[in-house]
C-alpha cells in the first residue's frame, strides 16, 4: 500500500506491515476484540495475510493497523482497523482507511466493504449500510469459519469507488 505519511499532520509513519509486526497487530486487535468492537485475529492468520496490512508507527511502536483484503475481482474488504485506545481521535483510523481505499483505487477495485461493530465511523468516511448477503464471497470464504456464523451481528457497509 502507499505511504501517506506526508499527507497527514501526524508525526509518525504509515508503512506496509512486515512479519515482525504481526504480534503487535494481534495485540491491537485483541484490545478491541475484548471490548466487543471487532473479531479477534489469530497469529497464524496475520502471518499468512501480513501483506494486506498497513501500520501506523510512532517512535518505533505500532499505534494503528488496517488491512485491505481482495475478496473478488470487483470487491475489496477493509478489515482489522484498530488504533491504540490512547491515540484514538487523532485521525489515525481515518488515515488508515484512506490508505486502504487508495490501494483499492490503485488495484482497480470499484467497491470496498467492511463488516463492523462501529458503523458510525464508516458512515463518516463515505460507506453506506448494506445487507451482508451482498457479499457471498466473504460469507463462503471467511464467515463460515467464524465462531459467530451464521448469527453474525456485524453491520455490512460498502463504499463505491469513483
Alpha-carbon distance of 7 to 105, in angstroms, equals 17
Lookup: cell for 71 = 475478496
CB 152 within 8 A of CB 115: yes
Closest among 104, 116, 45 to 75, alpha carbons compared: 104
- Per 3-state DSSP, what percentage of the chain is helix, strand, and coil (rounded to 5)? 40, 30, 30
Query: Which CATH class name applies to 5-160?
Result: alpha beta
- pLDDT classification of 114: cutoffs 50, 70, 90: very high
Q: What distance in Å separates the CA atoms of residue 38 and residue 30, rounded to the nearest whole number? A: 8
The pLDDT, as a whole number, for residue 140 is 46
pLDDT-based confidence at 136, cuts 50/70/90?
low
Cα separation, 57 vs 60, whole angstroms:
6
| Domain residue ranges in the chain | 5-160
pTM of the predicted protein model: 0.88
The answer to whether residue 141 scores a pLDDT higher than 70 is no
Would you state the pLDDT for residue 95? 96
Sign of CA dihedral 76, 154, 144, 79: positive
Q: How far apart are CA 128 and CA 160, in angstroms?
A: 9
pLDDT, averaged across the chain:
88
Q: Say if residue 106 is exposed, middle or buried (CB neighbours under 10 Å; 0-12, 13-18, 19+).
A: exposed
pLDDT in tens, 51-81: 999 999 999 999 999 999 998 899 999 999 9
pLDDT of residue 144: 47
**Residue 78, C-alpha cell as written in the block:** 477493509
pLDDT tier, 135 (very low <50, low <70, confident <90, very high otherwise): confident
Query: Is the model more confident about 143 or about 36?
Result: 36
The predicted structure's pLDDT at residue 93: 97
Q: Give the CB-side neighbour count of residue 13, counting CA atoms within 13 A.
A: 9
Cβ neighbour number for residue 53 with a 10 Å cutoff: 25
pLDDT of 18 strictly over 90: yes
- Give CA–CA dist 135/11, Å, rounded: 37
Amino acid at each position: 500500500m502507499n505511504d501517506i505519511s506526508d499527507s497527514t499532520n501526524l508525526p509518525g509513519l504509515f508503512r506496509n506491515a512486515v512479519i515482525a509486526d504481526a504480534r503487535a497487530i494481534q495485540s491491537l486487535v485483541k484490545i478491541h476484540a475484548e471490548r466487543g468492537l471487532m473479531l479477534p485475529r489469530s497469529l497464524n492468520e496475520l502471518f499468512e495475510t501480513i501483506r494486506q496490512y498497513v501500520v501506523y508507527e510512532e517512535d518505533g511502536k505500532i499505534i494503528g493497523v488496517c488491512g485491505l483484503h481482495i475478496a473478488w475481482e470487483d470487491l475489496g474488504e477493509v478489515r482489522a482497523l484498530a488504533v491504540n485506545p490512547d491515540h484514538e481521535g487523532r485521525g489515525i483510523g481515518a488515515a488508515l482507511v484512506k490508505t486502504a481505499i487508495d490501494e483499492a483505487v490503485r488495484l482497480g477495485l470499484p467497491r470496498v466493504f467492511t463488516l463492523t461493530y462501529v458503523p458510525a465511523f464508516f458512515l463518516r468516511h463515505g460507506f453506506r449500510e448494506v445487507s451482508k448477503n451482498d457479499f457471498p464471497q466473504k460469507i463462503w470464504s471467511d464467515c463460515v469459519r467464524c465462531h459467530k456464523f451464521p448469527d453474525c451481528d456485524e453491520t455490512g457497509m460498502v463504499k463505491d469507488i469513483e
